[in-house]
A and B are shown apart, each in its own frame.
Chain A
């Protein structure tokens, strides 16, 4: 009774809960449409815990329980324990090196019997809380370089473990913490440099270094020509331009090849290149017979492209209105690999067409903007940072996942929040969102 009273008295943000519920149910429907075949008995298989949709259904029920627990928890718990939890997360990630289970080539899973836990996934929660905790401490001056460095370290530490576990895709998620940091006063120059490097990276993928050197030189000459007057007044501008030019050339000529040869796994490099429609030029198999490599390269890139091609076919064939629920030939024919997890968006695209996709996009955008709204109404820095962290993580997942299904991003194993099949992912986002709801309910308090 007491608990019920607490729940009733809480000043919960219902829109966000509704958005959460609607997206999760759409996800369940999509997973159902991937797996369901005409002869299946719906109710039996829903309860049997054998099919993926049935499992997802029970995961969803479990999430309701977890969400309720979170709402019943005192919000002070979340402000008090982040450092401990963060430590726990790091320990779990380290534990994978010992007891880890390999799924799809990445040793990042801890088997718990009834489900597999992926610490790098759950660690997002802990990192969000830790970042919020650190930034909300009164003695943190985020304008200082030292604080910025510590905050960055908190966010990026999991990346190192994740890369070591061969799970680069999820590691990239941690870059989304740059957004809350930016909101809290992180100098935008880093973001701009980051974006600039991103653009350079893409151009480095698309063109050969030789073309790029010519291109960069031309651009620099044009810029100098237009800024000639300013440069006459201020010589340092010229130096800046030349430095940027030199760094760019260094980046595309040395850093990118290094990245592809030594940092990325070969398959990851292949995927990235296959996305822009090129063969990976940085394969170090020069000793092998030339004809042989040509052949194997071709086969390789064909299979790499296969996922994206099938995904695009499924979504594209949906048309404006879609083929109708359970009528998608591509979905029913199992043409899209991993359709129930990373490529769940294709099932929506095929069955419900552009309309369905647009509605889902609106729901996600609504969720994100709602979270930002919530963030901005917080009195405590902790809640605000945390809210921005949640928004950024969701945004990163949604954007990258959908871009990857429609051929705008390389295929990295990133789930579609609340939609993709999988207990680990669903639970993570549930916890992320409901902690936020819980914190928001106490927004009148000043939480430290």
Chain B
């Protein structure tokens, strides 16, 4: 007889229910109370893929594409998938040993974790790519190739104008927290790449992908409704004439110096040559780092954009401005004459300024033959004008003109690292000589563009545009327009004419006459071009290095045609010796001819180009430094690294202006290592007057204006 254990059914039910309750409670903790699993699932099941937009392109004035994108591959690795792969073969292809391989992987694991793909070797060279492509299947899935876009330069010119992009570092990321940069991104570091980074970079897109257990991306999450599309960087239309730029770079081969050409009507920069320059593609792709340190350590400073970052005394090119001031102030008129009997004796006979050909000159002729005495007299009259209560006031008035001509301050060009140059102020002289302890004679060499005046090549070119326009200029700029609109108001300051002082056209006509004379039959005859009325002015700038007189800088600036000017241009050839007319003038002539006639066909002119481009005018000092550097490169690097300077070589810079510019740093570094340049002066008279400690003061205060 079976026993009826009726109550036991309840116990069994209780067992069933209690276990189910335990399961339900467990599910509550798993599914509702914690987000841990949700995050884990997203981590492994969803892949957030950043889609890099193409950087914006740059076009020249003829709509030639002068800056493009090309693609190159990175070798990516997912450390936790490295299993049974032919490490030896991979090392062989990449040209590393197994220890380096291990070290890299360990570093990446520390940096990025095991399961995330990291860049194992960025920017593979073409040969490595070819070898890898062949045997990639042996290394997958741990290794794969990821394409990325790099800059390419169809004309291989204008390297310093474009600048370069480089990987951002932690410092950069700290400074731009909300701009969407992440480690490994590239950003513009110098040149236009930097000035227009905001528009060129575009907007990054994000794609959400489903990922499977093999870490393969299978399909878009929810068919892509959470995705944001990448927006390509905006294209820039520049005023550059790439052929003119290339010609300029050719002419400046084997020389130090620069050429700046501006369209005076628009302020658009037509050419911006800084010599020596470099092959722009050197700073993209796989060899980037090597090339960078080479360029960086080159004593000739190829990474320095001399057109905006180097400043010189303007020399005789300054005289045109003196003429404008003298006429406008009324201290001279067109028929005023001064005679020169060999030197300027207005300050006694101590150390007179020599003039080249003695005689009696009116203004026009004084410009044409570049007479020192005439302009010393003009400036003396301006400074000692009884209209002004003191020399201070008179000098301030003179400064006002200079600022109006675009000197003594940063113009605001859209190429970074612009220098302001220097126009001496009463304050400046008070500091150097003491209050009321100076007068015109103290700084008389300023009247002929020596002494304490410093200008950048860009400022000189702009000054030419000002004269060509008869009294106004537009801030020089490379970029004219931005495709799709100027959202960040980057170009608004390049729309207005700047016209601070109203000087009548008649005054300019006189100066134009003089300048035309310079080219027609004066010092700048080398710039002469058939059928084109060119106005120009030569400059021969004396300069010193460590107190030793160096070969003169050769200057030439001008504009053409005289009526309806289309190009304002300046050229400086550093330490070329001789006179301004010798080298700079023919270069300017060829540039003007090329621009205005579109091409140079004449045989003799073509020969001239070849001849000039072959001419080697690199000062022996720099040549020696280069040779020396090659031999002591190793020890030098040791010194640099011991001083902590080698850090500079890492490709990292902030974009802000409050940061020291990269160029500044390069400049500073080179100065420290190789040079200690002094103020220069035509006639050494400053030395005689200045107490020794004042030279020190100038050195310190005026470092930025030290000439190259």
Contacts and interface: CB of A to CB of B under 8 A. Distances in A.
Tell me whether A and B are bound partners. Answer: yes
B146 to A, nearest CB: 21
B219 interface: yes
A357 B3 contact: no
A37 B218 CA distance: 10
A318 B35 CA distance: 10
Interface stretch (B11-19, B319-327, B500-508): B11-19
B36 to A, nearest CB: 7
B104 to A, nearest CB: 22
A353 B24 CA distance: 12
Interface in B15-71: 15-17, 19-20, 22-24, 26-28, 30-32, 34, 36-38, 40-42, 44-46
B46 A329 contact: yes
Contact of A330 (B13, B41, B222): B41
B49 to A, nearest CB: 14
B221 A313 contact: no
Contact of B17 (A365, A376, A391, A403): A365
Nearest to B30: A316
Contact of B221 (A142, A314, A329, A372): A329
A179 B12 contact: yes
B37 A365 contact: no
B5 interface: yes
Interface string B218-233: 1101100000000000
A184 interface: yes
Q: Among B22, B26, B214, which residue has the most Cβ atoms of chain A within 10 A? A: B26
A184 B44 CA distance: 51
Interface size class of B (residues with CB under 8 A): 35 or more
Contacts of A179: 12, 15
Contacts of B42: 317, 329
Contact of B20 (A310, A312, A365): A365
Contact of A316 (B11, B36, B210): B36
A298 interface: no
Given A183-B5, A361-B24, A372 B31 contact: no
B223 to A, nearest CB: 8
B618 to A, nearest CB: 63
B28 to A, nearest CB: 7
A391 B17 CA distance: 13
Given A316-B36, A399-B19, A408-B26, A183 B8 contact: yes
A434 interface: no
B8 A317 contact: no
A338 B452 CA distance: 84
A350 B45 CA distance: 12
B40 A313 contact: yes
A183 B46 contact: no
Nearest to A362: B20
A368 B13 CA distance: 9
A319 B27 CA distance: 9
Interface string A29-53: 0000000011000000000000000
Contacts of A350: 41
Nearest to A140: B2
Nearest to A180: B12
B27 A358 contact: yes
A406 B27 contact: yes
Given A333-B218, A406-B23, A315 B9 contact: no
A177 to B, nearest CB: 13
Contacts of A318: 31
Interface string A365-398: 1001100100110000100000010010001000
A350 B40 CA distance: 13
A interface majority secondary structure: helix
Interface string A313-357: 111111110000001011011110000000000000110011001
B211 A406 contact: no
A19 to B, nearest CB: 15
B176 to A, nearest CB: 32
Interface in A117-157: 135, 140-143
B31 A332 contact: no
Nearest to A329: B45
A362 to B, nearest CB: 9
B92 interface: no
Nearest to B19: A399
Given A179-B12, A183-B8, A406 B2 contact: no
Interface in B167-216: 210-214
A408 to B, nearest CB: 6
Contacts of B41: 313-314, 316-317, 329-330, 350
Contacts of B34: 316
Given A320-B32, A335-B213, A406 B221 contact: no
Contacts of B2: 135, 140, 142, 184-185, 381
Contacts of A334: 212-214
A402 interface: yes
B551 to A, nearest CB: 72
Contacts of A388: 12
A182 interface: yes
A375 B654 CA distance: 81
13 contacts: A38-B219, A183-B9, A185-B2, A310-B213, A316-B36, A320-B31, A327-B222, A329-B45, A329-B211, A332-B218, A332-B219, A369-B13, A391-B12
Interface of A: 37-38, 135, 140-143, 179, 182-185, 310, 312-320, 327, 329-330, 332-335, 349-350, 353-354, 357-358, 361, 364-365, 368-369, 372, 375-376, 381, 388, 391, 395, 399, 402-403, 406, 408
The 5 closest A-B pairs by CB, nearest first: A316-B37, A329-B45, A317-B41, A333-B212, A354-B31
